[in-house]
Amino acid sequence: MVSSPRPLVSVVTPAFNEEECIPELVDRLRKVFDDETYYEFEVWIIENGSTDSTWNLIKEAAAKDQRFNGIRMSRNFGADGALTAGMDHARGDAVVLMAADLQDPPELIPEFLRQWERGYENVYMIVESRKDSSLLRRVNSAVFYRLAARLTDRRFPRNASDFRLIDRKVNDAVKSMKERGRFLRGLFGWAGFSTKGVPHQRPARFSGESKATTKTVMDLAKKGILGHSYIPLRVIFAFGVALSLSSIFAFMTLAIYWLLYGVPFAGYGSIVSLVLLAIGVVSLMLGVVAEYVGLIYEEVKQRPIYLVSEEYDPTVESQEPPD
């Protein structure tokens, strides 16, 4: 397929317990492919540690249509780990990254292609609204994007989605970044290239329940900010300097007061309150430093970003048919 005169577009989508969504995803992708006759397509569906029949459905789809391929991870490596596996296998001139739950509608791919044809190398969906998101999720997203914009020199466009089309050169550039604490939106922002956002309302899941719990979203946000900004460390340093200067000034003022009027016994409660406040602030600062140390720890272990248990490529004749 790589040698085809028509440009090849790779679609990469991770799937974790998405047995209810895979058949619909496959059908809707095929319709898009049928309409986009100028392009060749391949699909890499990454089974990310599912406990249902997701893998069997992927193999069935691949057996019926050779444009579809399956990769089975040895366990769940997170969405970014699965996307990385797909990016490593993708052979296309352009690569589309999307979710398998159909909150990233395949029908938006043609618009991505039109923007790519205009010369944009990183085309992503801007989420105008979320149909099935809770108030807490919407607040979390708003806070994250505001913090990320301030702390990373606005490398994270507001409400940018992971659903995107990237040029081959962008895919190769991000693949060359081997850091383990992966936050792909941050890596794409750091890489640069010519970008274009496409506003779109994010639909509800086609079926099933969202795997993005508050904890996983907060962990991802923490990784995204701390992995792409040193400003929290600089704030700690600045706060420490300011606190030290304030302490020196306060000590000198109190020393003069004590020389003139003596040392009163009153104020014990205030002293205890200040001590507790100082302990709390120091603990918070140590927590931030500990998060950075944790990121460094993950990097120095040099473990692989993901492990593949099995691949299903319908063009390889030696493979067994799907169960």
267, 196: one domain: no
- Winning range, highest mean pLDDT, from 107-121, 148-162, 235-249, 289-303: 107-121
Q: What is the pLDDT of residues 286-299, one digit of tens each?
A: 767 766 676 676 66
Per-residue pLDDT band at 96 (split at 50, 70, 90):
very high
CA–CA dist 258, 260 (Å, integer): 5
152, 163: one domain: yes
| Residue 223, domain member (yes or no) | no
Q: CA-CA distances (angstroms) from residue 243 to 92, 168, 230, 237?
A: 55, 50, 20, 10
pLDDT score at 168:
94
112, 190: one domain: yes
pLDDT score at 122:
93
Q: What is the pLDDT of residues 51-71, one digit of tens each?
A: 999 999 999 999 999 999 999
Q: What is the pLDDT of residues 187-225, one digit of tens each?
A: 888 888 888 988 888 776 656 565 555 555 566 555 555
| Residue 214, domain member (yes or no) | no
∠ CA 137-138-141, rounded to 5°: 85
Q: Helix, strand, coil proportions of the chain in percent (round to 5)?
A: 50, 15, 35
- The arrangement of strands across the sheet holding 195-202 comes to 195-202, 122-130, 160-167, 94-97, 8-15, 40-47, 68-73, 308-312
Q: What's the average model confidence in pLDDT over 13-26?
A: 92
- Give the domain CATH number at 203: 3.90.550.10
| Residue 104, domain member (yes or no) | yes
| Residue 113, domain member (yes or no) | yes
Q: What is the pLDDT of residues 124-172, one digit of tens each?
A: 998 876 666 555 555 655 565 565 555 555 566 667 788 999 999 999 9
| Residue 225, domain member (yes or no) | no
74-88, 98-112, 151-165, 271-285: range with lowest mean pLDDT: 271-285
For residue 11, give the 3-state DSSP assignment: strand
Q: What's the average model confidence in pLDDT over 245-258?
A: 65
Q: What's the average model confidence in pLDDT over 73-101?
A: 91
Residue 160 token pair:
């940018």
Q: CA-CA distances (angstroms) from residue 165 to 10, 15, 161, 234, 308?
A: 9, 18, 11, 35, 24
Domain interval for residue 244: 231-301
Calculate the average pLDDT of the chain: 77
Among 194, 2, 184, CA closest to 92: 2
295, 169: one domain: no
Q: What's the average model confidence in pLDDT over 172-181?
A: 82
pLDDT score at 3:
43
Q: What's the average model confidence in pLDDT over 247-272?
A: 61
pLDDT score of 243 more than 60: yes
Q: Please name the residue that has the structure tokens 């720890």.
A: 297
Cβ atoms of 71 and 39 within 8 Å: the answer is no
| Residue 278, domain member (yes or no) | yes
pLDDT score of 256 more than 60: yes
pLDDT score at 268:
47
